[in-house]
Structure 1
């Protein structure tokens, strides 16, 4: 089989496609022939050496796949054989085959293509935890979704629409028409305007009850200030650390600068302002597979009911993985970027 290998920290030239022997299942594993694999911003940070949870190099990244079960170990129900599935993967998903345990497997909804199904595990699970599990967004409240045109952003838009909340979002101008058609109430062009000033104008100076923020650094300070009473800030990424395309000292300096700019939240101001802050990191939830299964079943029910509709911006073959990384870094995607073997 072929797999995408990240050889070292650096630019696009550290990504290679290599041939390795086909996988054989352990007793508690299923082997999936991968038809589609997700690409996430964490993969970009990992390539540059900015992702502390990433595996040692050389490594194969990838957190989610869709494909067909080809083999199972003795401890796995053999009814999975031949089924179209989606799965969480703890890395190694950007390959033609991946080995997973049964709790990581879910049947693929029939109405979704393999590419669409591969959007669900990371993007929709992250958005569900941010908005419903920890954010507790209500229909009479409002939400600001940063980077609403990205993979998690569009997933969050679907979920907030289902709840019935008023939705604000930051995105570049070229994405506005698509997002309006998708159901976004108010779009803020973060490239040409101060998003916080615009948000306050739109909300008569009140702010919003929930903000989902993957930016990090000083933006978390501004997001916190834009919360209404009883509001919550959900932090789930540090994409502002990704400046330039290479790794090395430049990447380390960018990460350090982002970390230094991050705010500290003291309990007393939180009490006095009736605000909350929380973080979401899927990579640190592997010890909660039962919860993840419940959350994923809820998302699959949303697909069945028609209010969850994953959007794939484009696909890249494995041999074009460097182009895929560049495409995301240049913020060209509206929705998910998928790698296909």
Structure 2
């Protein structure tokens, strides 16, 4: 089989496609013939050497796949063979074949293409935990979605609209028409305007109940400042630390971003009736029962018709460098997917 190998820290040149032997499932595992694999910002940070959870290099990244069950271990129900499925993977997902445990596998809805199915796990679990599980967004409240045109951003927009909340979202001007069509109530041009001033003007100085922020650094301070009473700030990334060069320069920029992050003291949180929390789905592997419940709720959303992952672009394995560049340049609206 072929897989995408991350050979070291650096630019796009460290990404290689290599041929290796097919994996073999153990007694309690399934082998999936991968038809589509997700790519996430964590994969880009891992390439640059600034993702602390990445496995030692050389390594194969990838948290999510869709495909067909090709082989099963002796302890697995034979009915699994031949099923179209979605699976979460703790790395090694960007390959033509992956081996996973049954707890990581879900039946793919017929209404979703393989590309759409691979776009569901990471982005939608992240959005669901940010908004429904920890953010507790209510229909009478409002939410600001930073990077609303990204993969998590679009997923969050669908979840927030399903709840019935008023939605605000930052995005470059070229994405506003699409986001309005997707139901965003208030698009904000963060490139040409100050998003904080725009939000405060739109809300007549009150602020918002929930803000989900993948930017990091000083932007977390501004997002916290934009909260209304009983407001919550959900932090889930540090995209402002991104540097296309990778290596030492990228690590230096990450360090500078960390120094700009706020410290939240309990007393001001109490006095202002605000809350802050963080989400990292890569640190939830020990919560398999919860994760299965969340995914089942999302799959029910597919069945009910309110959830439909948007795939902006697909790239072949050989085009993986182009996929990284496409995301880093913020050209995507929604998910980018790799296909073998």
- Indicate the TM-score class for this superposition, using the shorter chain for normalisation: over 0.9
**1:100 counterpart residue number:** 100
When the two structures are aligned, how many residues end up with a matched partner? 340
| Structure 1 residue 248 displacement after superposition | 1.8
**1:15 counterpart residue number:** 15
Q: Please give the TM-score of this superposition, normalised by the length of structure 2.
A: 0.99
Runs of 5+ unmatched residues, structure 2: none
**1:194 counterpart residue number:** 194
Q: Deviations 1:154-207 (Å, cap 9, x if unpaired)?
A: 000000000000000000000000000000000001100100000000000001
Q: Deviations 1:16-45 (Å, cap 9, x if unpaired)?
A: 000000111011110000000001000010
Query: SS at the partner of 2:46?
Result: helix
Q: Deviations 1:201-248 (Å, cap 9, x if unpaired)?
A: 0000001000000011111000000000000000001111102x2222
Counterparts of 1:48 and 1:175, CA distance in 2: 27
Matching of residues 1-341 of structure 1 within 5 Å: 1-243=1-243, 245-341=244-340
RMSD between aligned alpha carbons?
A: 0.5
Counterparts of 1:78 and 1:229, CA distance in 2: 54
Counterparts of 1:77 and 1:285, CA distance in 2: 26
Q: Deviations 1:72-91 (Å, cap 9, x if unpaired)?
A: 11222221100000000000
Counterparts of 2:186 and 2:121, CA distance in 1: 27
Q: Deviations 1:34-76 (Å, cap 9, x if unpaired)?
A: 0000010000100000100011100000000000000111222
Query: SS at the partner of 2:261?
Result: coil
Counterparts of 2:143 and 2:64, CA distance in 1: 27
| Structure 1 residue 252 displacement after superposition | 1.0
